[in-house]
Amino acid sequence: MSEMDELKSSVSRRDFLKIAGVAGATIGAGGALGGLIAACGGTEETTTTAAAGTTTTAAAGETTTTAAGGETTTSVSAGVEEGREVKIGFVTPLTGPISNFGIPDKYCVDRASKAFGDGWVCGDGKKHKVTIVVQDSTSDSQRASQVAGDLINNDKVDILTAASTPDTVSPVAEQAEAAGTPCITNDCPWQPYIGSRGTHELTQVFKWTYHTFWGLEDVQATFLDMWGQLSTNKQVAAMFPNDADGNAWLPGWEPVWGPAGLTPTIPSQFQQGTEDFSSQLGDFKKNGCEIGMGVFVPPDFTTFWKQAAQQGWKPKAGTYAKALLFPQSVESIGVDIANGLTTEVWWTPAHPFKSAFLGGETCQQFADGFTAAGNGQWTQPLLHFIVFEMAADTLKRATSVDDKEAILAAIKTTKLETIGGLIDFTEPVVGATPPFKVGPCHITENVYKTPLVGGQWRKGAKYPMELTVVSNAACPNSGIAVQDKIKEYGAA
């Protein structure tokens, strides 16, 4: 059974109408990451001379033993009692069709491991060795569910984490909820995170699973603002695939077109792997569409956009989700015809945020570290580091690492500065009923929204293509600066 068939079997079209969300995913090459990354703890030994043959206890965590010959050995654990090993499980697509999302995750895990150091003092006052156990979902929902179960049942993780699209996040969250395991996730728009599970109602509340990311309302506010900066005839060429993303975006945009003064041309939903878009492009040319938008996996968009160039359709704005998130996928289109395309932007080095977990490290410093480690140009999924920032803060405040309820209580009261901005689950819940609040907020009990802006790909000085922020309409008070106004496609 295909992934779409499986999804249809559990989520009906009516459910998709309720969800009205987005599912960020992409196709691309990826690397691999080993299974265990540990931050080890230990004790220091110092030797002094004394005349007695006794054993005494000095400061907390320090024991002095004096042998008959007068040699004294003191074991020191920095004045803090040693606790048991704590495990954090992490599920990510390191290989397979959406592996571009997992590209920065090795760096994120490495940075978290180093930050945990030789042990982490938790809310119980003890210093615990922290181990991050990584599992590759292989970009498959069933595999994500399976390895999440393995982390819970075999590795006995204390906190489960995951990132990278509903294909990864939703099955992991479902396993955690069923098993009663505290779970922190990122990088899945909030509507499918909530609406693809349980009763499929956006108002439902889960006990064990907490999430950070934006929603479709933020995408819409961003796209509309970018298009509004240009003079167009408001004729929109909208492309939606016959998959989870398309089935969510299509009904989600239906109530937006009219009030925004836009007239869409919406062909039938296309199948992934389509090789000929002549019919759709013919309709767009016939109707004089000056705005192009939609959701694509990168290979399909490459085919579509090259055919658009060949057949002479050149809109004033080309705004496409998912396919244009990563520099690698943009460059594969071709620099000349990719220049000026626009997309949603979750994170950049220019974001004005600092990581409390990393001692105040800025987004720019975090991105520079990624590049200095040999990983090349920064990429948006560096935002995934939020799950480790939240896990570290949770452990620091949890009164017992052996009590899942104590860990959960700490997650639910998170108020933390991260590389994605302030995450504040202590804020009042805004509520998951339309119209949804645009911008960062505690939208549901289980979700705190991170900011979303709009960006335009332009020929770069350091890299072939570089992203310029051209809209912060969805989060004007976030401190994220607009770097330039949008330019017509082809004129950027």
Give the pLDDT confidence of 386-412 residue by residue, as tens digits.
999 999 999 999 999 999 999 999 999
pLDDT of res. 97: 81
The pLDDT of residue 5 is 44
Contact between residue 329 and residue 299 where contact means Cβ atoms under 8 Å apart = no
Average pLDDT over residues 452-458: 98
218-345+453-471 shares the fold of 13-37+83-214+356-431? yes
DSSP per-residue codes, 140-202: -HHHHHHHHHHHHHTS--SEEEEESHHHHHHHHHHHHHHHT--EEEESS-HHHHHHTSTT--T
Whole-angstrom Cα distance, residue 191 to residue 322? 16
Residue 337 has pLDDT above 60, yes or no: yes
**Cα-based distances in Å from 382 to 31, 52, 105, 110, 187:** 15, 57, 7, 12, 10
Q: Which residue has the higher pLDDT, 130 or 16?
A: 130
Q: What is the CA radius of gyration of the chain?
A: 25
* Confidence check: pLDDT of 74 > 70: no
Q: How many CB atoms are closer than 10 A to CB 117?
A: 13
Q: How far apart are CA 96 and CA 159, in angstroms?
A: 25
Q: What is the pLDDT of residues 206-257, one digit of tens each?
A: 999 999 999 999 999 999 999 999 999 999 999 999 987 788 889 999 999 9
Residues 387/184, Cβ–Cβ less than 8 Å:
yes
pLDDT at 245: 76
Check whether 14 has a pLDDT greater than 70: no
CA–CA dist 430, 416 (Å, integer): 19
Given a contact cutoff of 8 angstroms between Cβ atoms, the answer to whether 48 and 94 are in contact is no
- When pLDDT is averaged across residues 261-266 and rounded to a whole number, the result is 98
Q: What residues form DSSP beta bridges with 349?
A: none
Look at residues 86, 134, 145 and name the one whose alpha carbon lies nearest to residue 107: 134
H or E element at residue 368: helix 363-370
Grade residue 491 by pLDDT with cuts at 50, 70 and 90: confident
What's the pLDDT score for residue 78? Answer: 52
Read off the pLDDT of each residue in 376-382 and give the average, rounded to a whole number.
96
Q: What value, to the nearest 5°, has the Cα angle with vertex 192 and ends 190 and 196?
A: 135
**Residues 272-292 pLDDT 10s:** 899 999 999 999 999 999 999
215 CB neighbour count, 10 Å cutoff: 28
CA dihedral for 361, 162, 157, 444, sign (positive or negative): positive
DSSP, residue by residue, 211-257: EE---HHHHHHHHHHHHHTS----EEEEE-BSSHHHHHHHHHHHHHH
Q: What's the mean pLDDT when you consider all of the chain?
A: 87
How many Å from the N-terminal Cα to the C-terminal Cα in the chain?
44
Tens of pLDDT along 165-197? 888 999 999 999 999 999 999 999 999 899 889
Name the class of domain 218-345+453-471.
Answer: alpha beta
- pLDDT score of 13: 38
pLDDT of residue 246: 85
Stretch 41-61: mean pLDDT: 34
Q: So where are the chain's domains?
A: 13-37+83-214+356-431, 218-345+453-471
The pLDDT tens digits of the residues spanning 119-172 come to 999 999 999 999 999 999 999 999 999 999 999 999 999 999 999 988 899 999
Maximum alpha-carbon separation in the chain: 99
Q: Indicate whether 317 pLDDT > 70.
A: yes
Residue pair 146/91 in contact (Cβ under 8 Å)? The answer is no
The four Cα atoms 141, 437, 206, 112 give a dihedral, to 10 degrees, of 60
For tokens 């080095």, name the residue. 349
What is the average per-residue pLDDT within 353-360? 98
Q: Is the pLDDT of residue 61 over 70?
A: no
Structure tokens at 96: 């397979």
What count of residues does the chain have? 492
For the domain covering 13-37+83-214+356-431, report its CATH number. Answer: 3.40.50.2300
